[in-house]
Structure 1
Amino acid sequence: MNPVIDISELTKRYGGTTAVNGLTFTVHPGRVTGFLGPNGSGKSTTLRMILGLDRPTGGTVTVAGRPFRDRPRGLRHVGALLDAHDVHGGRSAEAHLWALARGNGIPRGRVGEVLREVGLADVARRRIGGFSLGMRQRLGIASALLGDPPVLLFDEPLNGLDPEGVKWVRDLFRRLAAEGRTVFVSSHLMSEMEHTADQLVVIGRGELLAAESLVDFSARGTRRHVAVTTPAATALRDLLTAEGATVHAEGERLTVTGLDAVRVSEIARLHALPVHELATRTASLEEAFMELTADRVQFSGGETR
């Protein structure tokens, strides 16, 4: 089975509101694909349609060639974490996972395996209601892994995790992708996607903005600048400004836009000004994202959904 997620002209309307509008993209195995978009962009709705929880108004979405809702024992095909709070607080972690395993024909021994994998073996019999958000996130990841599925979907999986937990999740996603699985991660943490994702799918107001590699997407950013370190910062700043550059000075460090590194170097050399560092800096993932989605932001503040 080729665990590809195929989305074609996917559309979802709620009355007069269009949440997702004609989305078309493919999520391939063997890599971590980040799913990004501003508030109200339709990411959560798209994930729910992949899982068959919401029915599309138009278009199609398949996992390994079939709609997910048509697959019995779904956890063997797709594992998902959509909401870490969507669990019965009165149950223990072990009981919660065993209920899922029983309903999906998964051996009971698998429950202990995933609890150990996510670091919850010592609290397996504690009530979930007493878990921290980070512990609930780990339990949600355990639920996704339970059926050892070839496709995994995660919605904001890093919420509530400490730095050690974030590194653990990052390493887990990379390992799962290296095993040939399809790993699709929705997150508002741009810096984390910069360290985790290989591919990106970016949407805004329910429409596709980009589906490409992380490197290609970051290169979209036009906010490139030249970083200069020099003991003659004031003199070089004045010369560069006279050439039409915009220069931000902070001690011996200059940030230059409007001139490339070659021209900055020529000006410094022509006036015998010493330069200790000269480098072109490209846009970060966050800068490229903000630039691309600037006119697609529906809400301001809060988390990206």
Structure 2
Amino acid sequence: MIEARHVTKRYGDTVAVDDLSFSVRPGRVTGFLGPNGAGKSTTLRMILGLTAPSSGTVTVDGVPFAERRRGLRHVGALLDAQDVHGGRTAAAHLSALARGNRIPRTRVADVLEEVGLAKAAGRRIGGFSLGMRQRLGIAAALLGDPGVLLFDEPLNGLDMEGVLWVRGLFRRLAAEGRTVLFSSHMMSEIEQSAEQVLVIGRGRLLADEQLADLSRAARGGSVVTVHAADPAALAALLTGEGASVRPLSEEAVEVSGLPARRIGELALRHGLALHQLTTKASSLEDAFLELTAGSVEYAAGDGRGGAL
């Protein structure tokens, strides 16, 4: 199990992780979500002892990872698939890791076979595609047969077959009672295999709940697009009823918090003409965007002349 308690990491005046507390339990896949710059990679590095927290503690099975000898037997990790010596072969790279952690040499062939790189064992890593490097990084994480596994954006560069394989691998590892944590900035990747979800923004915890609960919350709401003769008057009316209203154009607004039927009834009662109502069910991605709306470090302009 991974436990973080009131962890903060500062770089000068910049707070990368801010009083973060969570637990990642064995037997399930936990997705780690957040916009770019949210602090996901910094948090993973602190779990692995590669970055020291400014305050707070992070432990793996009750012990800081840096205190564990032969770490690959306890935690396997893929943080950066490009961070390997391109002049080595895949087999040589894994053999060096095995020797340093007193892992039987036979594991090298086993994990290369498992990730689909057995035929590329003698090839130099410098000639590998990004997808092949991702597979090699996963092989390194599996090398010590650890109980805890961490992956930072593991699906980057993989084709569809590779994506499906990774999803199945994560489920199998969790079913074996291991702790599996993988990060992504895309909800669509998380919802395919995770059971638990951690969401952070600007280094702070925004959500820690089961994926099914987050999914139900998202799909329990809806967004209604309303075209009206007087959208300003309609917005004032609906806001007074507790709805959230966002202008879309001179004729249309987007309404959340009230169903289309209630919007129509209120407009009729107050003599406001409506031209069209369109309801769209909220998605899991909508829930993620709503959670992180105030935590995006770099937001693009709206196409109307704003700076990017």
Q: Output the TM-score relative to the length of structure 1.
A: 0.80
What's the counterpart of residue 22 of structure 1? 19
Percent identity over the alignment? Answer: 68
User: In 2, are the aligned partners of 1:224 and 1:282 still within 8 Å (CA)?
Assistant: yes
Q: Does the CA contact (< 8 Å) of 1:221 and 1:283 recur in 2?
A: yes
Report the counterpart of residue 214 of structure 1 in structure 2: 211
Alpha carbons 1:21, 1:207 under 8 Å: kept = yes
Query: For 1:131-184, what per-residue CA distance to the aligned partner results, in whole angstroms no more than 9, with x for missing partners?
Result: 000000000000000000000000000000000000000000000000000000
The residue type paired with residue 283 of structure 1 is S
The alpha-carbon deviation at position 260 of structure 1 amounts to: 6.3
Counterpart selection for 1:13 from 10, 15, 39 = 10
Which deviates further from its counterpart, 281-290 or 124-133?
A: 281-290
Do 1:80 and 1:153's aligned partners in 2 also have CA atoms closer than 8 Å?
Answer: yes
Write the deviation string for residues 22-41 of structure 1: whole angstroms up to 9, x where unpaired.
00000000000000011211
Match of 2:85 in 1: 88
Q: Which amino acid aligns with 1:297?
A: V
2:294 aligned residue: 295
Shift of 1:219: 3.4
| Contact 1:39-1:300 at 8 Å conserved across structures | no
Residue aligned with 2:293, SS:
helix
User: Quick check: 2:4–2:21 contact (8 Å CA) kept in 1?
Assistant: yes
Q: Structure 1: which amino acid aligns with 2:218? A: G
Which of 151, 154, 166 aligns to 2:151? It is 154
Structure 1 unaligned regions, length at least 5: 228-240, 247-255, 265-279
Q: Shift of residue 282 of structure 1?
A: 4.8
Question: Cα distance, 1:259 vs. partner?
Answer: 2.5
Other-structure match for 1:284: 283
SS of aligned partner of 2:155: coil
Q: Secondary structure at the residue paired with 2:192?
A: helix
Q: Do structure 1's residue 126 and structure 2's residue 135 form an aligned pair?
A: no
* Structure 2 SS opposite 1:177: helix
Does the aligned pair in 2 maintain the 1:223–1:287 contact within 8 Å?
A: no
Deviation of 1:224 after TM superposition, in Å, equals 2.9
Q: TM-score, normalized by length of structure 2?
A: 0.79
Q: Which residue of 1 aligns with 2:31?
A: 34
RMSD of aligned C-alpha atoms? 2.5
CA drift of 1:215 comes to 1.6
Q: 1:221, 1:291 within 8 Å by CA — same for their partners in 2?
A: no
Partner of 1:259 in structure 2? Answer: 259
Where does 1:115-264 land on structure 2 (aligned, <5 Å)? 115-221=112-218, 224-225=221-222, 258-259=258-259
The number of equivalent residue pairs is 260
The separation in 1 between residues aligned to 2:260 and 2:173, in whole angstroms, is 41
SS at match of 1:172: helix
Aligned partner letter, 2:101: N
Aligned to 2:58: 61
The answer as to 2:101 corresponding to 1:104 is: yes
1:163 alignment partner AA: M
Match of 2:156, SS? coil
Cα displacement (A) at 1:222: 7.4
Q: How does 1:45-56 map to 2 (within 5 A)?
A: 45-56=42-53
Unaligned runs of at least 5 residues, structure 2: 225-233, 246-254, 265-278, 301-308
